[in-house]
């Protein structure tokens, strides 16, 4: 007999299908996180050694093409990584967002309220703290959105380093929170970091977006059966859309999100006819995630994280900049207070309790880990200040210090609970009836 009150517990265990999907994503993101870390460390080393001249020359080299009516297709390598390669990351974010809204936890208001509210709390609180520290400077205050983001790849890498036994409900919470966090960052970039808006280019983008939507829905089977079709048909449409967004003044990576929303998520008759294991969204995600995590995001990090610190004196100067201080406080303190505080308020207002397997120290550990803000934070830092502004370099140093601090503190907190997590993992893997689904996901009494 099923138990109704169980649904009222926060962080109760979800379905096995959802848990398996989240676990698969987390495994891929953990690999990407380690690659991202390696690219970041390499960039910092090159920028602060005798190789700095070579690094800066490559980063600042201008490449591109000349197309009538398009004046932004000639950029340096750094900008191509930020405006071009990072679009693949945002495309996958769009796919994941739509999947969460259509078939994931975000489709259910009851399940979605916790990670959604926590994501907003975790974005607003760091921004408020940053603003409080920097409101006296008309220039520095522009970076208010920098500490609002959470880097899921780095966060998952930290969790993988601590242990692989994190309960399914907490993994789902972290990923869903990070997805909503990305959505908030996308809206912030679109609304607050748009310069010299050119409406006609945005209007013109409706044409390739419409064709893209039509092709992925009316001819979905083709893209399931023929891998080349996406590269030959969808990629050119995506590039045209991207170029039009770039010229419109809206950050070009937003084009990736829009196109991600255009892809079907559910298993359709065309997907079934093609013998596919999932909807087109899932298929494209499997094909492109290795490209994003293994190449696109690490290259962006490599060309963005290469900050010339200037030795100990330079580091001291950077961390005394209110911009860096605001970012560090926002990531380490703001994220923790925002995520934990919002979750606690939900338990008070809704009159619910945490699941019996979860304690508040687990929520605090995840909240601290949520202070690892890198990929999107680096992007926002570059958008917040003018080229060559010292605040940009100081902001990046602040992001790295704040993220490392959050990673260490989060790892310490979660490692304390690792023995408890191992017991939960054993329970979540036990399959006595050997039906391929752990018993805990089919036996309602285990959720009491």
Contact predicate 276/226, CB 8 Å? no
Distance of CA 446 to the CA centre of its chain: 33
d(CA 263, CA 220): 9
Total residues found in the chain within this entry: 448
What is the pLDDT at residue 82? 87
Cα distances (angstroms) measured from residue 374 to each of 30, 105, 138, 381: 14, 25, 24, 10
Kindly state the helix (H) or strand (E) to which residue 139 belongs, with its residue range: none
Q: In this model, does residue 6 exceed pLDDT 50?
A: no
Residues 6+ apart with CB under 8 A from 180: 106, 115, 116, 119, 120
Kindly state the helix (H) or strand (E) to which residue 439 belongs, with its residue range: none
pLDDT: is 247 or 193 the higher one? 247
Would you give the DSSP letter of residue 163? -
CA angle 13, 442, 418 (to 5 degrees): 40
pLDDT in tens, 28-64: 667 777 888 899 899 999 999 999 999 999 999 999 9
Q: In this model, does residue 21 exceed pLDDT 90?
A: no
Nearest to 104 by CA among 18, 204, 218, 193: 18
- Matching residue, tokens 């969790």: 159
Nearest to 76 by CA among 92, 89, 57: 57
What is the pLDDT at residue 161? 66
Average pLDDT of span 424-431: 71
Q: In this model, does residue 258 exceed pLDDT 80?
A: yes
Q: In this model, does residue 18 exceed pLDDT 70?
A: no
Q: In this model, does residue 291 exceed pLDDT 50?
A: yes
What is the pLDDT at residue 354? 75
pLDDT in tens, 168-197: 778 778 877 887 887 888 888 888 887 677
What is the pLDDT at residue 159? 72
H helices of 292-443, in order, are 297-304, 311-319, 322-329, 335-350, 360-369, 375-384, 390-416, 418-429
Six token digits for residue 184: 């908030």
What is the pLDDT at residue 448? 39
3-state secondary structure of 164: coil
Classify burial at 362, counting beta carbons within 10 Å of its beta carbon; exposed 0-12, middle 13-18, buried 19 or more: buried
What is the pLDDT at residue 247? 92
Task: Work out the mean pLDDT of the chain and round it to a whole number.
Answer: 84
Q: What is the DSSP string of 69-80?
A: TB-SSEEEHHHI
Over its C-alpha atoms, the chain yields an Rg (Å, rounded) of 22
Six token digits for residue 8: 């009222």
Classify burial at 170, counting beta carbons within 10 Å of its beta carbon; exposed 0-12, middle 13-18, buried 19 or more: buried
Phi, psi dihedrals of residue 187, rounded to the nearest 5°? -65, -40
Average pLDDT of span 381-406: 87
Of all residues in the chain, what percent carry a pLDDT higher than 70? Answer: 88
The DSSP bridge partners found for residue 63 are 75
């Amino acid at each position: 007999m099923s138990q109704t009150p169980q649904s009222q517990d926060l962080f109760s265990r979800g379905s096995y299908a959802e848990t398996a999907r989240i676990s698969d994503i987390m495994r891929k993101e953990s690999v990407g996180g380690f690659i991202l870390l390696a690219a970041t460390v390499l960039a910092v080393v090159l920028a602060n050694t005798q190789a700095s001249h070579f690094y800066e020359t490559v980063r600042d080299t201008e490449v591109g093409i000349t197309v009538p009516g398009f004046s932004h297709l000639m950029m340096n390598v750094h900008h191509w990584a930020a405006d071009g390669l990072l679009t693949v990351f945002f495309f996958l974010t769009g796919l994941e967002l739509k999947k969460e809204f259509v078939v994931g936890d975000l489709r259910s208001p009851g399940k979605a309220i916790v990670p959604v509210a926590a994501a907003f709390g975790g974005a607003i609180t760091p921004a408020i703290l940053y603003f409080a520290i920097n409101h006296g400077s008309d220039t520095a205050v522009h970076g208010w959105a920098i500490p609002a983001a959470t880097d899921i790849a780095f966060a998952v890498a930290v969790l993988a380093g601590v242990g692989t036994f994190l309960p399914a409900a907490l993994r789902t919470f972290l990923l869903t929170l990070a997805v909503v966090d990305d959505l908030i960052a996308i809206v912030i970039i679109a609304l607050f970091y748009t310069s010299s808006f050119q409406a006609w280019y945005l209007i013109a983008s409706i044409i390739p977006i419409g064709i893209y939507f039509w092709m992925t829905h009316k001819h979905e089977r083709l893209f399931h059966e023929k891998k080349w079709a996406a590269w030959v048909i969808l990629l050119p449409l995506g590039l045209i859309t991207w170029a039009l967004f770039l010229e419109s003044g809206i950050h070009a990576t937003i084009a990736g999100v829009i196109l991600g929303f255009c892809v079907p998520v559910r298993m359709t008759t065309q997907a079934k006819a093609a013998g596919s294991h999932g909807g087109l969204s899932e298929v494209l995600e499997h094909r492109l995630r290795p490209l994003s995590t293994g190449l696109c995001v690490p290259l962006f990090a490599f060309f963005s994280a290469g900050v010339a610190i200037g030795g100990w004196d330079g580091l001291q100067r950077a961390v005394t900049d209110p911009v860096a201080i605001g970012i560090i406080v926002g990531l380490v303190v703001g994220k923790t207070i925002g995520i934990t505080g919002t979750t606690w308020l939900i338990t008070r207002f809704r009159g619910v309790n945490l699941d019996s397997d979860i304690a508040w120290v687990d929520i605090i550990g995840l909240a601290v880990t949520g202070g690892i803000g890198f990929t999107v934070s680096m992007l926002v830092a570059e958008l917040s200040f003018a080229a060559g502004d010292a605040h940009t370099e100081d902001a990046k140093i602040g992001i790295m210090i704040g993220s490392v601090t959050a990673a260490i503190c989060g790892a310490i907190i979660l490692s304390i609970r690792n023995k408890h997590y191992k017991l939960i993992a054993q329970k979540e893997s036990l399959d006595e009836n050997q039906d391929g689904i752990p018993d805990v996901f089919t036996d309602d009494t285990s959720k009491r």
